A and B are shown apart, each in its own frame.
Chain A
Amino acid sequence: MSRIIVITSGKGGVGKTTITANLGTALAQLGRSVVVVDADFGLRNLDLLLGLENRVVYTALEVIAGECRLEQALVKDKRTSNLALLPAAQTRNKTAVKPEQMRQLVSQLSDNHDYVLIDSPAGIEQGFRNAIAGATEAIIITTPELAAVRDADRVVGLLEAAEVRPTRLIINRLRPDMVSANQMMSVEDVVEVLAIPLVGIVPEDREVIVSTNKGEPLVLSSHPPLAAQALQRIARRLEGETVDFPNVASLGESFWERAKRFLNQRVI
């Protein structure tokens, strides 16, 4: 049975789209057929992070309007077999689509994909309502900051009311050095207050920006940096595998690891 997972956060800028792109790619690398859906109508970005922006012809909006077939709108990723993107419209806004239409679209996609990952827009209004409409489970992204955790808590409540379950948590952009200096809330702190199961911890990583610049998901890298390794572990956990959470301190790169990766990338 295919799984329809909405990736959401409440607050903007915490990494929903980056995580959707990488998790989709990582699941496809594990041999699953995956479609990632950009539900951010009016502010689409998922195509950029996947480096597929030049290949977008039709969007979800044309599919809904019956102006093209669903297969025509899907952009297949050439680097990752089994991975496709359903782009959002850039010209219209979030009210152009209704939850019922999204539900239908997503259920159609689930017919021939193992995973449908829906990248939700920030906020809790119509765009969010559309994004969760067809979802059967949710991943909530937060960073260890007050505003992000507060918004995540609100979203947990809304998902509960909408009967989207289970909901799991990813803590993104954790800085192990700051946690150990007691300058940032720890994983335990955040999990304790949100009280939902944790599915992954992704450390802050400069490589994320580099990979975004290139339009190449981090998990595709031949020497996956720490953030990419964390995302690959999350993919395996979603597949039902028991993968231990590494010690948070080990998520920070040592000087030698950084030097080694630099040499791997530039020289060898």
Chain B
Amino acid sequence: MLLDFLDQWFSRHTGSSRDQAKQRLKLILAHDRADLTPAALESMRLEILAVVSRYVELDSEGLQFSLATEEGTTALIANLPIRRVKPLQVSLSQPEGERA
């Protein structure tokens, strides 16, 4: 009884094991459902970072890149903190084949 109480009391501070289970599960299922290999995910991450880095300078410390599942749909969630915007000349050069 007392142990249960202490357990609950402490779990309020560290995040309960129920919440941990749910968070882990969401992450696992998102990866399972997307059927992406870790290698494919990593290569996608690098490509996206390369594209974004052409326009802005990213804060490499705070980068987050993960799959998540909410209500049956899977989403790619990227959190890319921007340190500063690069000078605009880069974005003016349009890629080949996109001219009207």
Contacts and interface: CB of A to CB of B under 8 A. Distances in A.
Interface of A: 145-146, 149-150, 153-154, 157, 179, 181-186, 189, 192-193, 195
A185 B71 contact: no
Given A150-B29, A153-B32, A195-B72, A185 B24 contact: no
Contacts of A193: 22, 25-26, 29, 69
Nearest to A184: B18
A150 B24 CA distance: 10
A183 B22 contact: no
Contacts, number: 50
A81 B17 CA distance: 46
Contacts of B96: none
Interface size class of B (residues with CB under 8 A): 20 to 34
A186 B19 CA distance: 10
A69 B25 CA distance: 47
A154 B28 CA distance: 11
Given A145-B21, A149-B25, A181-B4, 4 more contacts: A146-B28, A182-B8, A185-B21, A185-B22
Given A181-B8, A182-B11, A189 B22 contact: yes
Contacts of B29: 149-150, 153, 193
Contacts of B22: 185, 189, 193
A171 B17 CA distance: 19
Contact of B71 (A146, A182, A192): A192
Contact of A153 (B8, B18, B19, B33): B33
Contacts of A186: 18
Contact of B32 (A150, A181, A184): A150
B86 to A, nearest CB: 40
